Amino acid sequence: MNRLTGKVKLTKTEERKFNKVLDNDDYSQITGVNLDHVEYTLATFPSPKFCYRNLDESEKDEIILAVQKKLTQTGLPLSGINDPLRWEKGWGEILEKVKNDKISLEILRPQYFQHNTLRFRGNYIKVSEGSMEHVFFSTISRILFQRYLKGCQKIIEFGCGTGTNLVILHELFPKAKLIGCDWASPSQEILKIIATELKAKIGGARFNMLTLEGRENLTIDSGTAIITMHAMEQLGMSFNSLLEYFLENKPQIVFHIEPIFELYKPNQLFDKLAIKYHEKRNYLKGYLPTLKKLEGKGKIEILEVRRFFFGGLFHEPYSLVAWKVK
């Protein structure tokens, strides 16, 4: 296994079984980034292979039934609630692993990257292992960070969790000042270990995206990039305070990879299932329409909105929204 990327070699038998691999052309189409730029990024910063296979009809039917059963369950955690205890526990588990091993994207991989069945281009696929979703995430992150964040002097990630995105940013931009914000204290401890082991310019800050508690410890200016990755999903419809905070501080760019509710197609069964799950978990909703209203008033410029048509078993937390304050 590659220490930093967590790359796992497949046997020849596994490669034959999972007979499809995402190549540079696929990543170019998914991200909308020029093929030459994709090839350069992935040649300079190699990622593990994303291996998968298509499902037959009986497998698809089984998956749909399993997803529909999940949608009938009660007690699923809700977003938009000011309760960091669940994340204290989750990131605390990762912290214990980090203390006993060397830093790698595999060690830092959050527990929710675990599904062997994923959503891709309007269908379900089977992948070679549960880490494949994280392989996809880290690969498109490298490509899109290069496109949108190159040259930024400071990058602040809100809801940084275990620091995987900051490790990737350090690989790409070793001279940039990186700050990770999270409302769970183990996150800051993990970042300290990452900074020491990788000799990286990475700092941590306690910050609550719902209450803005901790904002006094941050400085955002015209040379700062703000990013959120699967983090604003936890705000539900309670994103206005954070958005106002971004607008007031006028960063160079705001970059999101989040589940964007409004990009689903409600007339399609495949998307209906994701919509129901998104609503059941109270994930981010209304953010894109709010940004479009702000753009209509001349306050911001939306640089790109793109759905990647990829996700975990239940929904798609991979859509790009990039914008800047005018």
Residue range 159-175, pLDDT digits in tens: 999 999 999 999 999 99
Decide: 50 and 139 in contact? Cβ < 8 Å: yes
What pLDDT shows up at residue 15?
Answer: 53
What pLDDT shows up at residue 130?
Answer: 86
- Comparing CA positions, the residue from 316, 211, 301 lying closest to residue 257 is 316
Structural fold of domain 12-72+83-325: Rossmann fold (3.40.50)
What pLDDT shows up at residue 8?
Answer: 46
Decide: 211 and 242 in contact? Cβ < 8 Å: no
What pLDDT shows up at residue 88?
Answer: 95
Rounded to whole angstroms, what are the CA distances from 288 to 13, 101, 209, 259? 44, 40, 17, 10
What pLDDT shows up at residue 17?
Answer: 83
Residues with pLDDT less than 70, the chain: 1-16
- Residue type for position 26: D
SS3 label, residue 182: strand
What does the pLDDT look like over 245-292, one tens digit per residue? Answer: 999 999 999 999 999 999 999 999 999 999 999 999 999 999 999 999
- Regarding pTM above 0.85, the answer is yes
- Comparing CA positions, the residue from 277, 280, 275, 276 lying closest to residue 265 is 275
Dist CA 303 CA 310 (whole Å): 21
DSSP H helices, 162-264, are: 164-172, 185-198, 240-249
What pLDDT shows up at residue 163?
Answer: 98
Q: Read off the tokens for 20.
A: 């499809």
What pLDDT shows up at residue 9?
Answer: 52
Greatest Cα pair distance, the chain, in angstroms, is 57
Dist CA 13 CA 22 (whole Å): 18
